[in-house]
Amino acid sequence: MSIKKMLKYIGSALALLPSAGIAGVIIQAQTISSNAPIYDNTYNLSNVIDQSGLRWNYTSGVTDFDFYLSSNTDGRPPISHENVAEYGLGFAEGVSDISLLLGFGELVTIESLALWNRATGSQGIKTFSLTASTDASFSSEIFIGNFFADTGLNYSGDSLAQTFEFTPVSASFVRMDISSHYGNLGVSFDELAFERHVNVPEPNPLFLFVISTLLISVRYKLATWISTK
């Protein structure tokens, strides 16, 4: 086999190798409940976890988190959410200290939250905290952190996503405690999703063996060729 052909085979083998590292995919909660009453029948708790209103839907557990949130749709900035009541969630006026219980349906490792806050400045979430647990009773809860959200982030009336990163934590449930909001109306927001921490597997040992063998052969061929010159 010529050196040129060997190098070609090595290049092909390298192209097939998966790169080791860490990736994150976007996931949606499967269940949601709250301790607070919603504003009226126009709103529904499930609106904020079902992708309704998003300009472009994702596949939960498959779509890359960073890619999705940086994607443009129809000339708009990164994924926006329509400002339509039927696609969002609003709580009754005068209600404070709202808690949302989100369930994933399985144990997952999460590392970021994407929040589409209210596009108008008088109703959005201002401060909140996240707590994780492996069970719905939160008998083994892990405090994730306190966060500050902006409001009024919009494009032509659509709300834009904000990302909140935190140390990866394993959880089947997450509790979101909303401690304050903007304006004097009821708390309202449009959508939320999480980034699932995924370890990319190491390269297949068989590929590594093939490449090593080819490199040794190329080295031998080169040494032989040089010695004849």
Between 135 and 13, whose confidence is greater? Answer: 135
Q: Which fold has domain 21-200?
A: Jelly Rolls (2.60.120)
Residue 218: pLDDT above 60? no
pLDDT in tens, 39-62: 888 888 999 999 999 999 999 999
Domain residue spans of the chain:
1-19+203-229, 21-200
pLDDT in tens, 132-179: 999 999 999 999 999 999 987 888 889 999 999 999 999 999 999 999
| 88 to 85, 108, 155, 170, 195: CA distances (angstroms) | 5, 25, 16, 28, 20
